Amino acid sequence: MMDGVNNLTDSFSSFVTIIGTKLSNKKPNKKHPFGFGRIEYISTIIVAIVILIAGLLALIEGINKIINPSVVEYSILSIILVIVAIIVKGLLSIYVRRKGVELNSKTLEASGVDAGFDVLLTLSTLVGALAYMLFKFNVDGYITVFISLIIMINGIQILVETISSIIGVRVSGEIVNKLKSVLLEYEEVKGVYDITLHSYGLENIIGSVHIEVDDELTAKEIHTLSKKLEYHVYTMFGIIITIGIYASNSNDRKALKIKKSIETVSSKYKEIKEIHGFYYDFRTNNVTFDLVIDFSNNREEIINLVKEELEGMYPNYNFYITLDSDYSG
């Protein structure tokens, strides 16, 4: 009976997956210009909740069977039905999970995982039946409790991962390295920083990146380079990316000296992960650069300390430091 109830919740999960997939494929409109891809997060949360409910119901029933054991009867037909169910659910789980990975669909992956745990739940039914038929020993309640706990843990993991994705997670190091490699293939690009990506569905990723180029490049040259980079990234990764520019004059002797001083001062703070975007304007004695500082520390205080020390070393210079976040990698 509990297996049957669980199958009904699976049917509901599949229905939610279908509706969620259909809605997420709707075309963008004026009110939702980024499309509806994030509806998949909502449908995944619903599937996770259904998994938790199924696990909780199984847990309650298992505990009840342990406290109040009942006389059960099994027939050969019921055993055959259970074996067929195990085979069908196993094949379904493998197929749905593979499709979820192939399509990068968290909802399908969650449904596939749920079907996999259904195999375990139904298998426990078979084990309980055989144990009773062969040894007259009723272990149904204990097996149900064990499997229900596994199901609930899995539901919680799916829920936590999906909520984390909604909040926003760090871009994977793999995609960051691939993007950097592609952009650095162009000789005009001296450095790649601040890769930020936002997912609005399976095929709708929008982001931005800063590239460092020689400050002697003209606006026309920078425009041409940016368009080539944006097109290359889109055709290779399907990512709509906006290119930001850091000007570089690191070949200037005075600029190199100041940059070296910045690196020396910054090296005193283990919280500082990277320095980039350095530029020295010799006409105004303005020095600008970005500091990437670990999230877990007092970042504003570190910037003030670095700025204070640099101003002591170069009293006639103006230092403008931008606090940068470690979004990726």
Q: For 167-203, how does the pLDDT look when each residue is reduced to its tens digit (9 = 90+)?
A: 887 777 788 889 999 999 999 999 999 998 888 876 6
Question: Lowest-confidence range among 14-18, 28-32, 275-279, 320-324?
Answer: 14-18
Same domain, 128 and 44: yes
In the block, residue with structure tokens 């009976």: 1
The answer on pLDDT for 303 being more than 90 is yes
pLDDT digits (tens, 9 = 90+) for 4-23: 766 777 787 778 878 888 88
Last residue of a domain, one of 105, 133, 167: 167
Helix intervals (H) in the chain: 2-24, 39-67, 76-103, 106-135, 140-167, 173-183, 219-237, 253-266, 299-313
Query: From the CB of residue 206, how many other CB atoms can be counted at a distance below 10 Å?
Result: 14
Residue 30: inside a domain = yes
The answer to whether residues 119 and 98 belong to one domain is: yes
Q: What is the pLDDT of residue 2?
A: 65
- Lowest-confidence pick of 18-22, 138-142, 154-158: 138-142
Q: For residue 329, what pLDDT band results from cuts at 50, 70 and 90? A: low
Q: Whole-number mean pLDDT of the chain?
A: 86
Q: Is 134 left (phi over 0), alpha (psi -120 to 50) or beta?
A: alpha
> HSE-up of 245 (CA within 13 Å, CB side)?
18
- Count of C-beta atoms within a 10 Å radius of residue 310: 21
What is the predicted pLDDT for the residue at 64?
87
Task: Kindly give the pairing relationship between strand 318-324 and strand 286-293.
Answer: parallel
- Are both 220 and 269 inside the same structural domain? yes
**Residues comprising the chain, all counted:** 329
Q: Would you say residue 261 lies in a domain?
A: yes
Residues 252, 314: one domain? yes
Number of independent structural domains in the chain? 2
Same domain? 147 vs 189: no
CATH number at residue 146: 1.20.1510.10
Paired tokens of 251 = 């070949």
Residues 110 and 191 in one domain: no
Q: Which helix (H) or strand (E) holds 285?
A: none
- Nearest residue to 325 via CA among 190, 186, 184, 210: 210
Q: How far apart are CA 292 and CA 274, in angstroms?
A: 5
Q: Are 89 and 13 in the same domain?
A: yes
Does residue 208 register a pLDDT over 80?
yes
> Can you give the pLDDT at residue 258?
93
CB 47 within 8 A of CB 13: yes
Closest CA to 218 of 257, 188, 253, 182: 188
**Range with lowest mean pLDDT among 26-30, 176-180, 261-265:** 26-30
Percent of the chain residues past pLDDT 70, beyond the cut? 95
Residue 163 pLDDT > 80, yes or no? yes
| Residue 160 or residue 2, greater confidence | 160
- Does the pLDDT value for residue 324 go beyond 90? no
Is 329 among the domain residues?
Answer: no
Place of tokens 């097996």: 143
Using DSSP's 3-state secondary structure scheme, residue 270 falls into coil
Query: Of 118, 145, 167, which residue sits at a domain end?
Result: 167
- Statement to judge: residues 152 and 15 lie in one domain: yes
Among 145, 167, 189, the domain-final residue is: 167
Query: Poorest-confidence range of 1-5, 22-26, 160-164?
Result: 1-5
* 295 in any annotated domain: yes
Q: How confident is the model at residue 1 (pLDDT cuts 50, 70, 90)?
A: low
The strand pairing partners of 199, in sequence order, are: 205
In a domain, 104, yes or no: yes
- 269 is a domain residue: yes
pLDDT in tens, 80-95: 888 888 898 889 889 9
Alpha carbon distance 4, 122 (integer Å): 9
pLDDT of res. 170: 78
Torsions phi, psi for 4 (to 5 deg): -65, -45
One domain for residues 76 and 179? no
Confidence of residue 259 (pLDDT cuts 50, 70, 90): very high
Instruction: Tell me how far CA of residue 275 lies from CA of 65, 106, 244, in angstroms.
Output: 63, 36, 17
For residue 317, give its domain range: 173-324
Q: When comparing pLDDT for 64 and 211, which is higher?
A: 211
The reported pTM is: 0.72
The DSSP letter of residue 33 is T
